[in-house]
Amino acid sequence: MFQRYTRLSDASLNHPRLCALVCCGGNLMAASWHTPLSREPFRYGIAVRAQNDTHHLLSTIGHCSLNFLDISEYETIDYTGSVHARDECKSEACGLVAPTCDANANPVFASALSAFGCRVRDILEMGDHTLFVCDVAEIFVNENTALMPTLFMGHGRYATLGEERLIVPRG
Ligand SMILES: Cc1cc2nc3c(=O)[nH]c(=O)nc-3n(C[C@H](O)[C@H](O)[C@H](O)COP(=O)(O)O)c2cc1C
């Protein structure tokens, strides 16, 4: 029923991961390895590989915004996850509209369902990724409820929500 693997690189995972754009120092990087860590205070973790320019930017600048973009931006997300800041100015190429920004002047994009203003508080070596533990000082929630999350399925495959199931209140 299941294929068994011992290395992640051998297993093609079939579950979706939510896409985000890490916006740091004017650069944009696609990320799907990120997670909430604490509600109060609100802390969020972003795992970044050392060879990515975002690793150096986050380490030196110490703050970023994290934008959770609508599915219509899947090609933009994929582009920011395919080239490095050292080779191209991705933010210029993408042309995303940022009607506002966080307290550190990092962009909050119009096509984001939500976005966080993050300040790095801890940098933890995990292996081939580094976990940037961030304090989330600002949470932006888009009033446009028609936006749909972008889910990364691996190997250039993107999806969004298809069906919603609601829990009937107990008692
Ligand atoms: C959908 C998607 C998700 C990704 N998630 C991550 C991630 O969570 N962490 C990471 O270090 N790289 C991730 N990558 C790869 C980086 O985005 C990619 O290496 C990028 O070119 C790095 O850009 P930079 O050098 O400008 O920082 C992802 C790529 C894609 C397409």
Each residue's pLDDT tens digit, 117-171: 999 999 999 999 999 999 999 999 999 999 999 999 999 999 999 999 999 999 8
Residue 83 lies in a domain: yes
When divided into structural domains, the chain yields a total of 1
Q: Could you tell me if 19 and 32 are in contact, meaning their C-beta atoms sit under 8 angstroms apart?
A: yes
Helix (H) or strand (E) holding 100: strand 100-101
Within a domain: 171? no
Give a yes or no: residue 165 inside a domain.
no
pLDDT above 90: residue 12 = no
Q: Does residue 3 belong to any structural domain of this protein?
A: no
Range of the structural domain that residue 78 is part of = 17-159
Residue 8 lies in a domain: no
Atom of ligand 1 nearest to the CA of 48: 11
Q: Stretch 102-110: mean pLDDT, rounded?
A: 98
pLDDT at 105: 98
Q: What pLDDT, in 10s, does the model give residues 18-76?
A: 999 999 999 999 999 999 999 999 999 999 999 999 999 999 999 999 999 999 999 99
Can you give the pTM of this predicted structure?
A: 0.97
Per-residue pLDDT at 101: 98
Query: Can you tell me the distance from the alpha carbon of 27 to that of 45, in angstroms, rounded to the nearest whole number?
Result: 19
Read off the CATH number of the domain in which 140 is found. Answer: 2.30.110.10
Q: Are 115 and 140 contacting, i.e. CB atoms less than 8 angstroms apart?
A: yes
Nearest alpha carbon, ligand 1 atom 5: 31
**142 alpha carbon – ligand 1 mean position (Å):** 24
Residue 81 is assigned to a structural domain of this protein: yes
In a domain, 5, yes or no: no
Closest atom, ligand 1, to C-alpha of 28: 26
Residue 164 lies in a domain: no
Is the pLDDT higher at 14 or at 60? 60
